[in-house]
């Protein structure tokens, strides 16, 4: 199970960099549609698959298709929303990505308990395709960046330009920490609630969806609140960094507390608080990246950041499976996730000096001693 959970993140992470490059150069509308079709078809085929190798292959294809989602989304937001409006825009998208797992766990758990697991994959894969016509009809093309349209003279940002920026590495390290914890919760929470806390599958489906619903709610509130404070005069540096750091720190504390309690229902409540704390982080993490990158590099930066983040997501399920097998308890897995979050706190606190657009025409990158942390 650990390997199957991780397989998705292998291809998803590695494909992010290529997806980001394409997003900054081609029409986002059609790139997103193509990726969506690929991951929906892969999901449907899982319902017919037999054998470990076939299922593993389809998980890899699923990751390849989904790799376009975040770079495309980030590019669309940075092209259409000003900085003080990006928190809520990102939060609404992030909340939807949490409502998906919540409904999947709730309805999927009930569906599997009544029928079997193959039905779940068919319903999700076929049902998802009903979204595609609306996307193609309602969404305009998102092709031209400022340097293509002539609005502003900016040189084409290359991959090397990203690698020499300390801000890129800071946001990527932070996202690695998020990816590790998010994949841990997404992959292993149902099994943990059943095996360690003794909930029946039907009860697990209901209680297990609550942490993700909590995260969706606080993501929307956190995005709105951050935008409101910035519009009232607070700096993006203060607001975005504070929401990121406090969100990761509180999540680490509540995860640890949920593991220590003997009360199963209190454990679920603490898991809800952990995910709620993480919602404040996820509402602002992409807004920070989009502001730093600007339209010229939003897709590539998002792709690279998401690639690093999903290396953590790829590591987490497999490592968790090994830890649980070796220790016969989930405690070590919870401690690992809580500790990883603290690394993210330090990355944002000390490596991001200012949240403002970078000047990609600079010849001296921000890793240079004379430019460390500077933002023209």
Contact assessment for residue 90 and residue 39, using Cβ atoms and an 8 Å cutoff: no
Closest Cα partner for 218 from 81, 306, 77, 92? 92
| pLDDT for res 362 | 64
Q: Which residues of the chain have pLDDT under 70?
A: 142-155, 362-376
Stretch (H or E) spanning 162: helix 159-163
| pLDDT for res 376 | 34
Residue 307, both tokens = 């690639």
Other Cβ atoms less than 10 A from the Cβ of 341: the count is: 26
Residue 297 dihedral angles phi and psi, to the nearest 5° = -135, 10
Stretch (H or E) spanning 16: helix 2-23
Contact assessment for residue 249 and residue 186, using Cβ atoms and an 8 Å cutoff: no
Distance CA 282, CA 216 (A): 9
Residue 55, both tokens = 């299922």
Distance CA 313, CA 317 (A): 7
pTM over 0.85, yes/no: no
Contact assessment for residue 213 and residue 98, using Cβ atoms and an 8 Å cutoff: yes
Q: How many residues does this entry show for the chain?
A: 376
| pLDDT for res 57 | 92
The SS3 of residue 66 is helix
Residue 273, both tokens = 């608080």
| pLDDT for res 240 | 93
Closest Cα partner for 188 from 57, 84, 319, 277? 319
Other Cβ atoms less than 10 A from the Cβ of 212: the count is: 27
140 backbone φψ class: left, alpha, beta (φ>0; ψ -120 to 50): beta
Residue 243, both tokens = 């929401």
Task: For the chain, give every domain's residue range.
Answer: 84-114+158-371
The 10s digit of each residue's pLDDT in 231-281 is 999 999 999 999 999 999 999 999 999 989 888 889 889 999 999 999 899
Distance CA 293, CA 157 (A): 10
| pLDDT for res 148 | 44
Contact assessment for residue 58 and residue 106, using Cβ atoms and an 8 Å cutoff: no
Q: Is 254 exposed, middle or buried (0-12, 13-18, 19+ CB in 10 A)?
A: buried
* CATH class of the domain comprising 84-114+158-371: mainly alpha
Distance CA 159, CA 22 (A): 12
| pLDDT for res 144 | 56
* Alpha carbon of residue 80 to chain centroid: 21
């Amino acid at each position: 199970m650990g390997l199957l959970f991780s397989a998705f993140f292998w291809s998803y992470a590695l494909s992010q960099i290529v997806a980001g490059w394409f997003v900054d150069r081609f029409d986002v509308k059609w790139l997103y549609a193509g990726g969506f079709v690929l991951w929906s078809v892969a999901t449907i085929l899982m319902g017919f698959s037999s054998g470990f190798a076939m299922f593993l292959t389809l998980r890899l294809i699923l990751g390849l298709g989904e790799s376009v989602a975040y770079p495309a989304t980030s590019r669309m937001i940075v092209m259409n929303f000003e900085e003080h409006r990006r928190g809520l825009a990102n939060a609404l998208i992030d909340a939807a990505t949490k409502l998906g797992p919540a409904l999947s766990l709730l309805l999927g758990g009930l569906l599997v308990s009544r029928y079997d697991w193959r039905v779940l994959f068919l319903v999700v894969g076929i049902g998802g395709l009903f979204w595609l016509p609306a996307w193609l009809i309602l969404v305009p093309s998102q092709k031209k960046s400022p340097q293509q349209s002539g609005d502003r003279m900016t040189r084409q940002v290359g991959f090397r330009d990203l690698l020499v920026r300390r801000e890129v590495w800071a946001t990527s390290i932070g996202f690695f920490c998020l990816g590790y914890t998010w994949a841990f919760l997404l992959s292993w929470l149902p099994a943990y609630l059943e095996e360690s806390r003794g909930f029946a599958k039907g009860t697990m489906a209901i209680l297990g969806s609550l942490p993700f619903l909590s995260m969706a709610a606080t993501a929307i509130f956190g995005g709105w609140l951050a935008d409101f404070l910035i519009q009232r005069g607070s700096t993006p540096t203060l607001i975005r960094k504070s929401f990121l750091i406090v969100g990761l720190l509180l999540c680490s504390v509540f995860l640890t507390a949920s593991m220590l309690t003997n009360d199963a229902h209190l454990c679920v409540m603490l898991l809800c608080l952990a995910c709620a704390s993480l919602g404040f982080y996820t509402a602002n993490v992409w807004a920070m990246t989009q502001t730093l990158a600007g339209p010229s590099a939003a897709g590539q930066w998002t792709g690279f950041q998401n690639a690093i983040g999903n290396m953590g997501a790829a590591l987490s399920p497999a490592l968790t499976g090994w830890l649980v097998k070796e220790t016969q308890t989930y405690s070590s897995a919870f401690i690992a996730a809580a500790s990883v979050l603290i690394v993210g706190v330090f990355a944002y606190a000390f490596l991001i000096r200012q949240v403002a657009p970078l000047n990609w025409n600079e010849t001296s990158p921000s890793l240079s001693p004379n430019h460390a942390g500077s933002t023209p």
